[in-house]
Structure 1
Amino acid sequence: MTKITYDPESEVSNMSCDRDANLRSLIARKKLNLVLDLDNTLIHAIKTKDITPSDQQCLKHLRCRNWFKEGKLFKLDDYLVKPRPNVYTFLKEASALFDLSVFTLQTKDYANKAVEILDPKGLYISPLNVFSREDCKKPMMKDLDVVNQDERVTLVVDDTKWVWAADNQKNVIGLNPYLFFEVGNKQWNMKHAGLQLRGDESEKYGELARVLRELKKIHIAFFDTEANQVDYENRDVRDVVEDVRKNFRLLK
């Protein structure tokens, strides 16, 4: 029997070839990579045992009970999941400009089920592009090496920048965390009036709408149609982010 040995140099070489192929495919399709966080970025999820009495009372009201029928609130095992306003539009429009991935520090099972809520038909996020704590090279630390995409054409949207490896922090576009339930606001030391006394984040002017506008600016700037014979494969989206930040003063 032939003995099979593990060759780390060969694995690195194969990953490099995959990245090069992915890069060429992206450029040909005029797309970039976008890695999305889940919790407090695209959704707010809490365990049902942690719901406060005031929020429990609100959830008994007919208006709140209808949220489950309307697709505004979901049960995921022992969690309640609230999609962030504008998230479905965000995914649809972002997917036209970016190949989408999800990276969460939750479990793989949780991640897959949450993605099914956000993309039930699998139109925008492939199961192969869902990464979780089980994929991390270091405990509870996200790293773009795991995603196996070239950092020069990859952006990250995450409410928590410090969970990313130091080499990836320039790829991260931050946004304010989405905290819908009372328990979340208490954890973040924010005042909260209870579900029945307050509204939700704005669809049109909320954080996802703002970030989507910024992502579109970055995409346009990267694929500058006025540039003559641009060598896109040698461009770096991190430099473009800095230029957009200076010109528009919008990015976190």
Structure 2
Amino acid sequence: MFEIIKCPDLGNKILREVIWKVTVSQVITEKILLCVLVVDDEDYGLLTQILNQKLYTTKKIEIHTSVIGAIEKLNTIEEIMKSNELCTINISDKNHNCDHEIEYGGMCVKCGRELEDINLPFKLPCGVSGRNLKFTENLAAKIEENKKAQLINSQKLILVLDLDHTLIHTFQGKSQAPGIHNFLIDGNDYSTKLRPHLETFLESMRQMYEMCVYTMGSHNYANQIVHIVDPEQKYFASRVISKDDSENKSVKNLKLLLPFDDSMAVILDDTYEVWPNCENLILAERFLYFAEISEFDKKFCGENDCYLLFISELLKRLHNRFYSDGVNDVKQILKDLRLEVLQGINIVLSGVISEIPPSNNFYWQSASKFGAVCSNDIVESTTHVVAKNMGTKKTKAALEKNIPVVQLLWLHLSISFWYKLPEDYFKFENISNFDIRAIVNVIKIRRNSLENSEAQKIPKFTTSESESDSDSESDAVASD
């Protein structure tokens, strides 16, 4: 249904101009100024009588309406003078569902209507082109397809990076220690330490990935950290997602970036709970700097952290398989790479398992996901006994059978780094002299000695620095 808004009777007035205050498709929800009519009105005053000729004065007439609907048509002066009709309003639906394609902050960017609490086509975010920007499903699909085409053309994938405990460690307070970045939020002091090798990591990743930050912190906090990490905006540009951008404040959702197809996105985050059932996730080893850690843990934590060196090589292999091997789904590639880490390894855990059945144990499940076969007892195929301490029945039996016995840290770091570390460094007789730098150097030498065909299987470390990272071991205690 349509309602015609008539032009008021102008009498002897001459219509000179119509100044419209609305636009076609604009939705009217309350009394509104439609237009201003500029007219010439005949003057019958004394001067007119003396001169004996018609004189005119210019007047403005405001036209308001309370009709609810959408502007269908705005008439020209010629049309108004001919039909005496100003405009046509579509009132077929008094609540009028805005069907435009883009909204920003709950408002249609075309007609300006606030879209809260009305029926309208479902809109969803797509990418990080702007906070609170949403699109209709069809437009979002087109945007995503264009993004995928751009990525393929540039031979890139999407890398979603968490901030806290993944790239940085922040605490509330002010630290004067060297290498610490201090900043203020709402008058409160904060101190941030960047994870070692972060700039090297980002610089190498920018060649293969379009990187974006996704944090559970506020947008203000995220912007402060990104300014520290990427002051020239060469890694993230404006691609920053915070908890302020999501309706659900307790979990992260890849659909904010890619609502339909996540096959080209990989995530690096230290908290798996915020990514429920997400196969795109690489679970990062937590970076801890402002925390009390043991002297032994300092050998691979804090300043001696080189987790990003290992993960950068993992991400390089992932990228290579996507574009060189024709496996066009990050999720499948991650599954394959995960299973290769401990492939051919048969593990017996000692002093670690308290769960019944043993297969419910975290390390049992983790080792299995990374390609190992776990057994409760030593069998002929056992290749490793992984223990928290020596002196158990299983560790004694393993030594009698010349089966390597390694500290639990070997399994923990091999899983965290997605790389089977050399066992000798983790044997109990060597563990007190543990030095992650030596391990990295051995890997570098081994990697450089391989043929190109074998080079794909073992990461190549391109930095001269060599340190590593671990968070902590499981506190589970068993008596075996």
Residues 46-90 of structure 1, C-alpha deviations (whole Å, 9 max, x = no match): 0007xxxxxx7xx4xxxx3xx2xxxx2100212100000001111
Between the aligned partners of 1:7 and 1:157, the Cα distance in structure 2 is: 34
- Contact 1:214/1:251, CA 8 A, preserved across alignment: no
Q: What pairs up with 1:1-150 in 2 under 5 angstroms? A: 2-3=26-27, 5=98, 6-8=120-122, 11-48=136-173, 59=176, 64=177, 67=178, 72-77=179-184, 78-127=189-238, 129-148=239-258, 150=261
What is the deviation of 1:201? 3.6
Q: Give the share of equivalent positions with the same residue, in percent.
A: 27
Higher Rg of the two aligned structures: 2
Q: What pairs up with 1:147-166 in 2 under 5 angstroms? A: 147-148=257-258, 150-166=261-277
Query: Hey, which of these two has a bigger chunk of helix by percent?
Result: 1
Report the counterpart of residue 52 of structure 1 in structure 2: none
Among 213, 224, 248, the alignment partner of 2:341 is 248
Between the aligned partners of 2:241 and 2:171, the Cα distance in structure 1 is: 20
Instruction: Tell me the amino acid that sits aligned with residue 29 of structure 1.
Output: S
- Contact 1:137/1:146, CA 8 A, preserved across alignment: no
What is the deviation of 1:200? 3.2
- Contact 1:153/1:236, CA 8 A, preserved across alignment: yes
Between the aligned partners of 2:300 and 2:265, the Cα distance in structure 1 is: 36
Secondary structure of 1:142's aligned partner:
coil
Secondary structure of 1:75's aligned partner:
strand
Between the aligned partners of 1:199 and 1:145, the Cα distance in structure 2 is: 33
Between the aligned partners of 1:155 and 1:92, the Cα distance in structure 2 is: 17
Secondary structure of 2:267's aligned partner:
strand
What is the deviation of 1:244? 1.4
Report the counterpart of residue 171 of structure 1 in structure 2: 280
- Contact 2:267/2:281, CA 8 A, preserved across alignment: yes
Q: Which runs of 5+ in 2 are unaligned?
A: 1-21, 28-69, 71-97, 99-119, 124-134, 343-413, 417-480
TM-score, with length taken from structure 1: 0.77
For CA contacts below 8 A with separation 6 or more, give which structure has more relative contact order: 1
Tell me: CA distance 1:220–1:199, structure 2 relative to 1, closer, same or farther (3 Å).
Answer: closer
- Contact 1:141/1:164, CA 8 A, preserved across alignment: yes
Secondary structure of 2:263's aligned partner:
helix
Between the aligned partners of 1:159 and 1:139, the Cα distance in structure 2 is: 17
- Contact 2:287/2:301, CA 8 A, preserved across alignment: no
- Contact 1:158/1:174, CA 8 A, preserved across alignment: yes
Query: Hey, which of these two has a bigger chunk of strand by percent?
Result: 2
Q: Which runs of 5+ in 1 are unaligned?
A: 50-55, 186-190
Secondary structure of 2:304's aligned partner:
coil
Between the aligned partners of 1:40 and 1:199, the Cα distance in structure 2 is: 12
Among 207, 210, 215, the alignment partner of 2:315 is 215
- Contact 1:221/1:240, CA 8 A, preserved across alignment: yes
Instruction: Tell me the amino acid that sits aligned with residue 136 of structure 1.
Output: S
Instruction: Tell me the amino acid that sits aligned with residue 302 of structure 2.
Output: D
What is the deviation of 1:192? 4.5
- Contact 1:33/1:154, CA 8 A, preserved across alignment: yes
TM-score, with length taken from structure 2: 0.42
Secondary structure of 1:217's aligned partner:
helix
Instruction: Tell me the amino acid that sits aligned with residue 121 of structure 2.
Output: D
Between the aligned partners of 1:11 and 1:137, the Cα distance in structure 2 is: 18
Between the aligned partners of 1:142 and 1:94, the Cα distance in structure 2 is: 22
Instruction: Tell me the amino acid that sits aligned with residue 117 of structure 1.
Output: I
- Contact 1:137/1:143, CA 8 A, preserved across alignment: no
What is the deviation of 1:248? 3.4
Secondary structure of 1:223's aligned partner:
helix
What is the deviation of 1:144? 0.7
Tell me: CA distance 1:80–1:21, structure 2 relative to 1, closer, same or farther (3 Å).
Answer: same
Between the aligned partners of 1:251 and 1:15, the Cα distance in structure 2 is: 37
Between the aligned partners of 2:301 and 2:313, the Cα distance in structure 1 is: 23
- Contact 2:288/2:301, CA 8 A, preserved across alignment: no
Between the aligned partners of 1:21 and 1:43, the Cα distance in structure 2 is: 32
- Contact 1:173/1:251, CA 8 A, preserved across alignment: no
With 236-245 and 92-101 compared, the bigger mean Cα shift is at 236-245
Instruction: Tell me the amino acid that sits aligned with residue 170 of structure 2.
Output: A
Residues 165-222 of structure 1, C-alpha deviations (whole Å, 9 max, x = no match): 43xx11000121001012xx5xxxxx446xx99973436xx11111111001111111
Tell me: CA distance 1:198–1:76, structure 2 relative to 1, closer, same or farther (3 Å).
Answer: farther
Instruction: Tell me the amino acid that sits aligned with residue 177 of structure 1.
Output: R
Instruction: Tell me the amino acid that sits aligned with residue 98 of structure 1.
Output: Y
